[in-house]
Amino acid sequence: MTPLEKIQSSIGKEFTESPSPFMRWLNPIIVAAEPGTLEFKYQIRPEWLNPVGNLHGGVTAAIVDDIIGATMFSLNEAHFYTTINNVIDYFSSVTGNESIVAKTTIIKKGKQFINAECEIWNGDKSRLIAKGTSNLFKTEIKKHQ
């Protein structure tokens, strides 16, 4: 089973089969998965909040980085990719006890570099919370498939 097929087999469920301990801690529910695009839903937890009760910007950035990394697995590439930058624009706040939806898109895929973006929306997708853009570099580390 390819990594993408493994992700697709968990649509509608928590992604407990992720090879990433951090992603398992974030505990997303897979909404959709196609080559180069993933959509995950997250339930905001109390430990993700800043002192005023909104989703912490660092958690938002971590979600962007993590789901973009998972998106690299959806491409079924032979090598790992590493993030070389992660730029986040914050547009709106979201409070605890809400859910958010993160969706990724590959903007450009070259031989060595990939540019990807992630939008994070509130649960009903009526308000854009943040948008992140990352560049990733192909490493020499091969995946075991």
Alpha helices (runs of H) in 52-126, residue ranges in sequence order = 57-74
pLDDT digits (tens, 9 = 90+) for 96-134: 889 999 999 999 999 999 999 999 999 999 999 999 999
Structure tokens at 50: 């800043």
User: Do 136 and 72 contact (CB within 8 A), yes or no?
Assistant: yes
| 19 — pLDDT class (breaks 50, 70, 90) | confident
**Tens digits of per-residue pLDDT, 23-79?**
999 999 999 999 999 999 999 999 999 999 999 999 999 999 999 999 999 998 999
Instruction: Assess contact for 41 and 100: CB atoms under 8 A.
Output: yes
Helix (H, G, I), strand (E, B) or coil at 125: coil
pLDDT recorded at residue 67: 97
Enumerate the H helices of the chain as residue ranges: 3-8, 21-26, 57-74
Half-sphere exposure at residue 80, Cβ-oriented, CA atoms within 13 angstroms: 10
Instruction: Give the domains, in start order, of the chain with CATH numbers.
Output: 3-142 (3.10.129.10)
pLDDT in tens, 86-95: 999 999 999 9
State which H helix or E strand residue 113 sits in: strand 113-122
Confidence of residue 145 (pLDDT cuts 50, 70, 90): low
Strand ordering across the sheet containing 37-43: 29-34, 37-43, 99-109, 113-122, 128-142, 79-90
User: For residues 31 and 40, is the Cβ–Cβ distance under 8 A?
Assistant: yes
pLDDT for the residue 16? 87
pTM (predicted TM-score):
0.94
